[in-house]
Structure 1
């Protein structure tokens, strides 16, 4: 059942697929003035503002309900989320939930898949709001069961994983650590340690830099108060997880010259966030460092393609919403409304820049993996096998790193930090997909429509 009054993810006037005389299927199609990819906060804001202009707007996402990671589950009931859900439901935007974009058959067309059926979506303008994912850094034992990303453990608890009474160590970097600790505490977890890799001096400088931002400072203080039962360490990180094949038993932490081992049921570990830029790169958008380059109207280097939210730089919820609104207004020609938000956008970007400075990774973390520590867990490629190569392409050709189901989303950012490598090309499919969906991935849309 749709929630919060949202429109159904089904396509009401088209079947899921067209049956051919050979018993197979051909894709159906949809066409929009503006297509938004990603139904997190940035995507919801973009689709809502664009649809309010009267344009035909589509919002496509691989989850079966809008909200992304940040507004998943109970968080969708927060006042901010509820208000945006209400706006989205009241708009004429069509929601295509559960569809995952995996390729571009031709310019102006994206191909999505759902339950083995593929759908071609044509657009005049495109807004990418593909969000971000956690950065994982390999260390001995990081592949053990119950060693999870901080956000991943939170998502599992939101989905019903029982956490009450469980002993949890949270480690990594960024504001997400405290947010996850507070959420898990609220649901009965015993948070033993919170280990932030950034130094106390950097955190103090960050706090000083936002002292005039009362809302942000209050948020941080509230989260720390809610997690006051846990020890909070700076310049601290896990160096090994210990356990059997079926569960985690303990984790060894290091802070300066001190090391200690603590029994636990879960280790939630994430080293800040990595923007999801793969689709933008596939479409030819310029990506600088690890973010999509956009102008003040969220327009990328490709005419007609906009980008909003975390892919343009990790900035948090408020920044994502504002960028989404600007992208939606700009793509639909409402430039006066887009321009009215520029000042707020600049202030939020200043905060994001301070965030990046405060939580930049300590170079000492490059020494976490041992020679036999798995870096690419899809293909079981150890650190020493990758370290003997000079580039991502060379390592990929010789070891198959990055060629598993995650397509380098986990080991790619790790390799970039450990070795300074960047993938030099993005090829379809950007996500694993059925062979039937790939078979005619380059066929023109017009030819496919003749089969209907």
Structure 2
């Protein structure tokens, strides 16, 4: 196989995947871009369905100008045949077919996907190298009433607005912790929702301790100030050092109780107040999608929230596999674009022997270093309350798929001797349901008092048995 024949499979068409695909294609690499959505853009640049006929989708987005440039470059590469875009592909496994350290004809990787919204039709794509840009998803921590209809994640509320042009409700409480809450509250308010409370459990003023890091990222500071100003324009009152204690309702959420937190992250007695609402949009940060990386054998850092380990060129420790964006640690779209660009240059050098100029490589590397330091500071300040599990009553469901209450998890630890998440799962079935612990693992681990650790799931999503039983030549 000649260098011109070598191909790259990019999994994920968000900022990191797009940057990597476009950069590699600029260097002459043939790219197959696979994504589960119908349109490129990922969660950050999520587009409304074409059938909705949105006339001004840009009003729901931040950095629309950057998206237009990415979209136009992608269209040009697709038209030229350098990029093949395969939407509606739900990747469930990546099979390594080559010997370690070897790129040769007939070797490389096979990306296994389920096609379309029904996710039952199998498809396979072969490539010599793989870029994992699988993004992230929201961390969900349980509390009494969190399973009520009308309680949604903050990102879920934003996705409904961006992708479906619908509001999750009319009277909304936005709560939790993290910078994602600000654009969610602003977007919902601009679309006509009444934000009756914005409840942040952290103390944003603590960022002053990281003044040099903030000064090195003036664009991020200006962005936060603009969101704060828009919240003021919409008359949204922000309450800090508070948390949601419980959601109330019968058929759906009707009110929430919030309370103040002391310096140790515990509830202040007597500070509870009840707020009427029809929707609670709640978020506690983000987690990296690491399933595909784990099944490939890539190193995962699980000392905190797990993420894929990469080197200075975004290479994993599995030869032929790169990773970029939220999969390597949560850091937002600008960082994801920088990491994708770095990966694209590295992949082109590997597959085609193209070495970009020093300036081309240095600029995204500087951006990456600066933003990684910035988001490390953000993670320090915007952590969930230290004692959030004290609010979780024994009858609070912590695993929705299997309907496992917190009391069963505590019993497994205190009475049955469980010391890790796997043992808790075996004793209680928490994490054995449809999501396979992707949603409930942080909550179950918090209640159990153990680390989440690597998930070690062999498949990245549920797969029909008929697909697994299929022979390589297509016969069942």
Residues 1:287 and 2:312 aligned together? no
Show the 5 A alignment for 1:274-313. Answer: 274-289=287-302, 290-313=306-329
> How much has 1:77 moved relative to structure 2?
8.4
2:248 aligned to which of 223, 242, 247? 242
Q: Structure 2: how far apart are the matches of 1:202 and 1:33?
A: 47
TM-score by length of 1: 0.87
User: Gaps spanning 5+ residues in structure 1: where?
Assistant: 1-30
2:9 aligned to which of 22, 32, 35? 35
TM-score by length of 2: 0.83
Q: Deviations over 1:384-430 (max 9, x none)?
A: 11222322111211222112111211111223444223255523322
2:452 aligned to which of 422, 425, 431? 422
Residues 1:98 and 2:88 aligned together? yes
1:266 corresponding residue in structure 2: 279
**Corresponding residue pairs, total:** 414
Q: Structure 2: how far apart are the matches of 1:149 and 1:32?
A: 41
Residues 1:84 and 2:100 aligned together? no
Q: Structure 2: how far apart are the matches of 1:173 and 1:76?
A: 20
Q: Structure 2: how far apart are the matches of 1:307 and 1:90?
A: 24
Q: Deviations over 1:327-358 (max 9, x none)?
A: 11111114434345322221121112111112
Alignment RMSD (CA, Å): 2.0
Q: Structure 2: how far apart are the matches of 1:312 and 1:164?
A: 31
> How much has 1:362 moved relative to structure 2?
2.3
Q: Structure 1: how far apart are the matches of 2:6 and 2:399?
A: 39
> How much has 1:211 moved relative to structure 2?
3.5
Q: What is the DSSP-based 3-state SS (H/G/I as helix, E as strand, rest coil) of the residue aligned with 2:42?
A: coil
2:122 aligned to which of 118, 122, 143? 118
| Residues 97 and 287 of structure 1: CA distance in aligned 2, closer, same or farther (over 3 Å) | same
Work out whether residues 430 and 444 of structure 2, in 8 Å CA contact, stay in contact via their aligned partners in 1: no
Residues 1:214 and 2:218 aligned together? yes
| Residues 369 and 295 of structure 1: CA distance in aligned 2, closer, same or farther (over 3 Å) | same
Q: Structure 1: how far apart are the matches of 2:168 and 2:93?
A: 42
Q: Structure 1: how far apart are the matches of 2:73 and 2:140?
A: 35
Residues 1:338 and 2:394 aligned together? no
Q: Structure 1: how far apart are the matches of 2:439 and 2:168?
A: 29
Q: Which moved more, 1:125-134 or 1:329-338?
A: 329-338
Q: What is the DSSP-based 3-state SS (H/G/I as helix, E as strand, rest coil) of the residue aligned with 1:262?
A: strand
| Residues 130 and 111 of structure 1: CA distance in aligned 2, closer, same or farther (over 3 Å) | same
2:429 corresponding residue in structure 1: 400
User: Gaps spanning 5+ residues in structure 2: where?
Assistant: 48-56, 98-108, 262-267, 413-417
| Residues 235 and 77 of structure 1: CA distance in aligned 2, closer, same or farther (over 3 Å) | closer
> How much has 1:119 moved relative to structure 2?
1.0
1:348 aligned to which of 371, 377, 389? 371
